[in-house]
Amino acid sequence: GAGVSQSPSNKVTEKGKDVELRCDPISGHTALYWYRQRLGQGLEFLIYFQGNSAPDKSGLPSDRFSAERTGESVSTLTIQRTQQEDSAVYLCASSYASGNTEAFFGQGTRLTVV
Amino acid sequence: GIQVEQSPPDLILQEGANSTLRCNFSDSVNNLQWFHQNPWGQLINLFYIPSGTKQNGRLSATTVATERYSLLYISSSQTTDSGVYFCAGINDYKLSFGAGTTVTVRA
């Protein structure tokens, strides 16, 4: 696609429910990143994919968070049993390869847990 | 990942003023980017600048890779320049961000 696309743009969910956030990277981009940004804060690294593999999951805050990527394309970030502290904007970025190429971000998914 | 320090944390400018934002890295990087986060939260790519100097309109950036820092210059600032400016660098694969500089341009 022309840019990184994330869906939904906004999600309001009740505490304890599971949510799935989707990221469609730019076509041909093999590297994909997920970040979390709490209100007024910086970007917190969550997970990185190279192809369909996730060599670094160290940023996932707890075992309620998981992510997968299929077909070296779409990635899904799943949050189980959501808590109020999960409320944030979740941002996805992609690049041609890790390390030496420019990364581009999607518009983000604003998650509100009530 | 590397540590990224941005300064100043906040900057208030009168329209028309010039300013410099700085980004320091704890280790060498092989990718360095500057972003502007608009009021809707979208991260807009400003510069991909692992080294050297680039210019884009009223904005320019310089990275001195050997000294592990980068500078973003805003000239003749406008109210539309307001927002948060982030720098980010990659060492290995992880794109690490600074805390950002919040710029407010007053008319």
Contact state of A50 with B86 under an 8 Å Cβ cutoff: no
| pLDDT band, very low/low/confident/very high, at B1 (cuts 50, 70, 90) | confident
Q: Is B3 on the interface with A (CB under 8 A)?
A: no
Residue of B nearest to A108 (CA): B42
Q: Is A37 on the interface with B (CB under 8 A)?
A: yes
Measure CA A31 to chain center: 12
Mean local confidence (pLDDT), B30-50? 92
Which chain A positions have a beta carbon within 8 Å of B90's beta carbon? 98-100
Contact state of A102 with B40 under an 8 Å Cβ cutoff: no
Distances (CA, A) of A111 to A40, A68, B4, B10: 15, 19, 27, 27
Kindly report, residue by residue over A43-102, the tens digit of the pLDDT: 999 999 999 999 888 899 999 999 999 988 999 999 999 999 999 999 999 998 766 789
Distances (CA, A) of B104 to A24, B12, B76, B107: 33, 5, 13, 10
Q: Is B34 on the interface with A (CB under 8 A)?
A: no
**Contact by Cβ (8 Å): A33, A92:** yes
Query: What is residue B107's three-state secondary structure?
Result: coil
**Contact by Cβ (8 Å): B10, B25:** no
Residue of A nearest to B102 (CA): A40
Q: Is A50 on the interface with B (CB under 8 A)?
A: yes
d(CA B62, CA B82): 21
Q: Is B95 on the interface with A (CB under 8 A)?
A: yes
- Helix or strand (DSSP H, E) at B82: none
Q: Which residue has the tokens 């970025």?
A: A93
- The pLDDT, as a whole number, for residue A99 is 63
- The pLDDT, as a whole number, for residue B86 is 97
Kindly report, residue by residue over B45-85, the tens digit of the pLDDT: 999 999 999 999 999 999 999 999 999 999 999 999 999 99
Contact state of B86 with A108 under an 8 Å Cβ cutoff: no
